[in-house]
Structure 1
Amino acid sequence: MTRSMTAFTRQEEQHAWGALTWELRSVNHRYLEPHFRLPDSLRDIEGVLRERLRKRISRGKVEATLRFVPEQSQASLQIDHRRLEEVAAATRQLSQTGLELQGVNPLELLAWPGVVVENALDMALIRKAATALFDKALDDLIAGREREGDELKQLIHARLQGVSQTVADVRQLMPEILKAQRNSLKQKLADLSAELDPARLEQEIVLIAQKADVDEELDRLDTHVQEVYRVLEQSGPVGRRLDFLMQELNREANTLSSKSIVANTTRSAVELKVLIEQMREQIQNIE
């Protein structure tokens, strides 16, 4: 299936221990270029995430941002009562030495190392949940790339139909164009009251026909168009191959233009180049 390189997704999950949010954004790029923004506490899963991304996406600049907000109740402070009693006992002992101690501020006791502790979060569980949510976000991102890729394919199909129609029109016109050139040459000779050997006249007509012969270019244009259709139906990345085919189509259109002997074929060549350029612009965004 044809995939675009442009998409965005946001996936959120709420757990007893907090909330996880993934934002994935991808844009077109020549190669795969991932950028991860992770909380420091989850930085160690970046390598796993990069490998999962690499296996499923081959091109595009992908920005992946993870936000983790611990549940307030889970992050609440707890008092180590045993430690607090030890600190209080120490202050009582100091008072018994005869040293004058001002009233002990409870907040000072809480500031003593080890008195206040934070609930320990199960980081292994959070890492597992973050990785699973990343997979879900990646599924949605790829689905978005496929939807846009399908739209791009339809746009390219429409341009390909235009190319095929233009090629067919030129084929149909060529016999009339050559006939008109023959008559024009005869008329010029008649206007000059010049006599030309029939064999020499026929040679001139053959030279004109050879110069204007574009059958080979038209055949190659048709062949390239059919190849583009075929590539668009392939699975996996096709962007680079399509870009190459656009170069080949443009080459044939340029040759057709250079061989043009009348305004009609010149206009047809210009129309072909416009259609090809429109396709090329769309293909730049295909994986």
Structure 2
Amino acid sequence: MINSMTGFASASGADAPFSWGWEVRAVNGRGLDLRLRVPDWVEGLETGLRKKLSASVARGNITCNLRLNREEAGGTLAVNAAQLETVLSALHQIEERAMDAGVSLAPSKATDIVTMRGVLEQASFDDDAAALCQLLLADFDAVLNDFNAMRAQEGAALHAVLSGQLDKIEELTGQAADLIPARQAEMSATLRSNLARVLDNAEGVEAARLAQELALIAVKTDITEEIDRLKAHVAAARALLAEGGPVGRKLDFLTQEFNREANTLCSKAQMKELTTIGLALKAVVDQMREQVQNVE
């Protein structure tokens, strides 16, 4: 199945003390252009994301954004053991000196100790960038799957549209082929009439030479080759749709060939019905080319 070059996916996640949000979007492009906006302090993250995207997408302009937030300790408190030992040691010395001096002190309370500077402080987290990188890369897999699922869904719609347009081109090509016998008879009568008129008014001109030139004109106006090439292009395009994968460039080339044959058909027409068919072909081919621009 073919994929569309356009797609979008977003997701969010969290693992204390971090929370994050992903956003991946893609639009049409001639090649693969990856634009990543991720925290540069998470070493290896951008490289890993590029590797995953490159393995999954062949063409398109892709933007991948990661909003990474680090939550504060959120009021969680922890005892500073070193500072507590210092405070307790100081209190012990004070009590001993007071006893030696005969001074009676009130017993120290825990609530008094924890209010002393540095004893109780907010907890802190040690950031492990390598572990965070692996966590984010694993989380991105689901985002990438959603992104590719959307591209596949749009690709299925494109497949249906392109198949319908190929059916129309095949139908118009068949109509043009059906006109060949009547067109040949009409052109033969016209050529014979022109040849007789020229011979009646061209003294000294060899009849054989005139007949040869008129025969050459008849060959140049024959549309059999254009009909055959149109049929071959339809078969080739259907084969590409059946093959699937990144076939957008090849389909784009085929639409150019379709357009060339339709133009030639119009220029050679010399018949109202054939001209009408040629113009209808050009219209369908233009519509097809617009759709093909979205194919990966």
Same fold (TM over 0.5): yes
Cα offset, 1:134, TM superposition: 1.0
Q: Which residue of 1 aligns with 2:229?
A: 220
Runs of 5+ unmatched residues, structure 2: 91-113
Q: Residue 242 in 1 paired to residue 247 in 2?
A: no
Cα distance in 2 between the residues matched to 1:195 and 1:44: 87
Instruction: Trace 1:82-97 onto structure 2 (pairs within 5 A).
Output: 82-83=82-83
After the TM superposition, which of the residue ranges 182-191 and 15-24 deviates more from structure 2?
182-191
* SS of aligned partner of 2:147: helix
Cα distance in 1 between the residues matched to 2:88 and 2:189: 117
Runs of 5+ unmatched residues, structure 1: 91-105
Q: Which residue of 2 aligns with 1:30?
A: 30
Aligned residues of 1:30 and 1:60 also touching (Cα < 8 A): yes
Q: Which residue of 2 aligns with 1:96?
A: none
Instruction: Trace 1:128-167 onto structure 2 (pairs within 5 A).
Output: 128-167=134-173
* SS of aligned partner of 1:269: helix
> Structure 1 residues 79 and 34 mapped into 2: Cα distance closer, same or farther (>3 Å)?
farther
Aligned residues of 2:78 and 2:123 also touching (Cα < 8 A): yes
Cα offset, 1:5, TM superposition: 0.6
Taking every aligned residue pair, what percent have the same amino acid on both sides?
37
The structure with more radius of gyration: 2
Cα offset, 1:128, TM superposition: 2.0
Cα distance in 1 between the residues matched to 2:41 and 2:195: 90
Q: Which residue of 2 aligns with 1:99?
A: none
**When the two structures are superposed, what TM-score results if normalisation uses the length of structure 2?**
0.76
Cα offset, 1:175, TM superposition: 1.4
Q: Which residue of 2 aligns with 1:284?
A: 293
Aligned residues of 2:263 and 2:278 also touching (Cα < 8 A): yes
* SS of aligned partner of 1:233: helix
Aligned residues of 1:3 and 1:150 also touching (Cα < 8 A): yes
Cα offset, 1:129, TM superposition: 1.9
Instruction: Trace 1:66-145 onto structure 2 (pairs within 5 A).
Output: 66-73=66-73, 76=76, 78=78, 80=80, 82-83=82-83, 118-145=124-151
Q: Which residue of 2 aligns with 1:55?
A: 55
> Structure 1 residues 123 and 74 mapped into 2: Cα distance closer, same or farther (>3 Å)?
farther
Count of residue correspondences: 270
Q: Residue 253 in 1 paired to residue 262 in 2?
A: yes
Aligned residues of 2:5 and 2:27 also touching (Cα < 8 A): yes
Aligned residues of 1:77 and 1:119 also touching (Cα < 8 A): no
Q: For residue 45 of structure 1, what is the amino acid of its counterpart? A: L
Instruction: Trace 1:201-216 onto structure 2 (pairs within 5 A).
Output: 206=215, 209-216=218-225
CA offset digits 1:124-160 (Å, max 9, x no partner): 4332221111111111111111111111111111111
Cα distance in 1 between the residues matched to 2:137 and 2:228: 52
Cα distance in 2 between the residues matched to 1:31 and 1:89: 70
* SS of aligned partner of 2:249: helix
Q: Which residue of 1 aligns with 2:183?
A: 177
> Structure 1 residues 274 and 82 mapped into 2: Cα distance closer, same or farther (>3 Å)?
same
Cα distance in 2 between the residues matched to 1:77 and 1:270: 78
Cα offset, 1:122, TM superposition: 4.2
> Structure 1 residues 228 and 126 mapped into 2: Cα distance closer, same or farther (>3 Å)?
same
Cα offset, 1:50, TM superposition: 0.9
Q: Which residue of 1 aligns with 2:109?
A: none
Cα distance in 2 between the residues matched to 1:6 and 1:75: 44
Cα distance in 1 between the residues matched to 2:89 and 2:36: 50
* SS of aligned partner of 2:42: helix
> Structure 1 residues 87 and 237 mapped into 2: Cα distance closer, same or farther (>3 Å)?
farther
Cα distance in 2 between the residues matched to 1:2 and 1:155: 12
Cα offset, 1:206, TM superposition: 4.6
Cα distance in 1 between the residues matched to 2:256 and 2:232: 14
Q: For residue 80 of structure 1, what is the amino acid of its counterpart? A: N
Q: Which residue of 2 aligns with 1:95?
A: none
Cα offset, 1:61, TM superposition: 1.1
Aligned residues of 1:254 and 1:269 also touching (Cα < 8 A): yes
